[in-house]
Amino acid sequence: MSDSEIRPLAGKFTTAPTESVHFGPGSIGALAEECDRLGVTRLLVVASPSLMARFDVEQCLQRATGGRVAAVFDGSRPHVPHDAVLAGVRTAADANVDGLLSIGGGSAIDLTKAIAMGVTRNVVTRDDLLACRPYSADGTSSVPQLSVSTTLSAGEFTGFIGVTDTVRQVKDIYGAQCFAPRAVILDPEITVHTPRPVWVATGFKAIDHAIEALCSADAQPVVDALATDALRRLVRHLPSSYEDAWNHHAVGQCQVGAWESIFGLPNVRFGLSHGLGHQLGARLGIPHGITSCVLLPSVLEFNLEYTRAPQQVIAGILATGTGADPRLGAAELLRRFITTQNLPTRLRELDIRQADLPALARESAADVLGAANPRPVTSEAEVIEVLRRAW
């Protein structure tokens, strides 16, 4: 029984702003149709240098969009440093584009959303960018976005934007519903260019979305249903998609699972794994999928007394998918599953010293104290407790 079956059945659900999702092999061919629908004639493509080096991104997208690529910005970097946003806004203005197209993972997608925000709000300087904080549910975008996702981060389905202010070494949350891509492409054939370690790590980020949605203090029936199915798909198919990038069936199942995992935003708030992960990633340069691997099991242990019902559901799915004993509990089953995919489960595996934990807790406290974790986090000492569990 899910938490939303126990609680009073009343609330509000806001649908995701994404208008079109094309999924399955060859679905990138729908880009021209979507450009027609959105009235886009000149696109700025946003990608990472590493993806650009793996295949001819511009040629692929010129063909898929019917020749609408006006410029390519390859300034995407992990955790979206603020100077990349400013450079991207300048590139969009110089190229006189009327649409943005991200191709890549979470960093390229967040950067593209940030560029849309910068173009819309006339951002020129770092101070202009900082003035756009925080996230707002309202607003309009002056430039439509499309997204071709090559990982399982699922950032293409939200208007949330994470940008790292490199002066303060803090990841700030920006955005609005209007800055979510209006059309999304989930094409397994494009993901063959994604390094398998990156692919599987972002799969655990999607698992983090699903688990923290199920455990959320704001749990809702529609979100529960989709997050549960997301977890089932990801646990079953992530290993196969990791082993064989050309297994389009397994890859496609994971892409749909990642989509389902994030569908609940902004109706449910995620907890401590996301809050701590954002800041650890920005401060230490750790990819978000890896932060999920090392933090989420310990967060589940910390939250157990407040989330027993959803954790039983989670344990059942993990046990079914891995053949393990559900009595081990969600946290231990998740830890074991992560290990089978050759990923770390402890902060010490990332060369973080135990002596560093108090400073990390202090730096992260402003972002997680009083946040939406199902077990209220009221002191820096509790943040240290979670980090010590994870060490």
CATH superfamily of 196-390: Dehydroquinate synthase-like - alpha domain (1.20.1090.10)
Confidence of residue 10 (pLDDT cuts 50, 70, 90): confident
Q: What is the pLDDT of residue 135?
A: 82
Q: What is the CATH number of domain 20-191?
A: 3.40.50.1970
- C-alpha 88/C-alpha 111 separation (Å) is 8
Q: What is the pLDDT of residue 3?
A: 55
Partners of 149 in the beta sheet? 104
DSSP labels for 53-112?
HHS-HHHHHHHHHTS-EEEEE----TT-BHHHHHHHHHHHHHHT-SEEEEEESHHHHHHH
Neighbouring CB atoms inside 10 A of 229's CB total 17
| pLDDT tens-place string over residues 229-248 | 999 999 999 999 999 999 99
Contact 271, 299 (CB under 8 A): yes
Partners of 185 in the beta sheet? 22, 148
| pLDDT tens-place string over residues 315-335 | 999 999 999 999 999 999 999
Instruction: Give backbone dihedrals phi and psi of 262, rounded to 5 degrees, phi first.
Output: -105, -5
- Residue 159 carries which DSSP code? -
Residue ranges matching CATH 1.20.1090.10 in the chain: 196-390
| pLDDT tens-place string over residues 100-109 | 999 999 999 9
| pLDDT tens-place string over residues 342-356 | 999 999 999 999 998
DSSP labels for 182-210?
SEEEE-TTGGGGS-HHHHHHHHHHHHHHH
Residue ranges matching CATH 3.40.50.1970 in the chain: 20-191
**Averaged pLDDT for residues 255-283:** 90
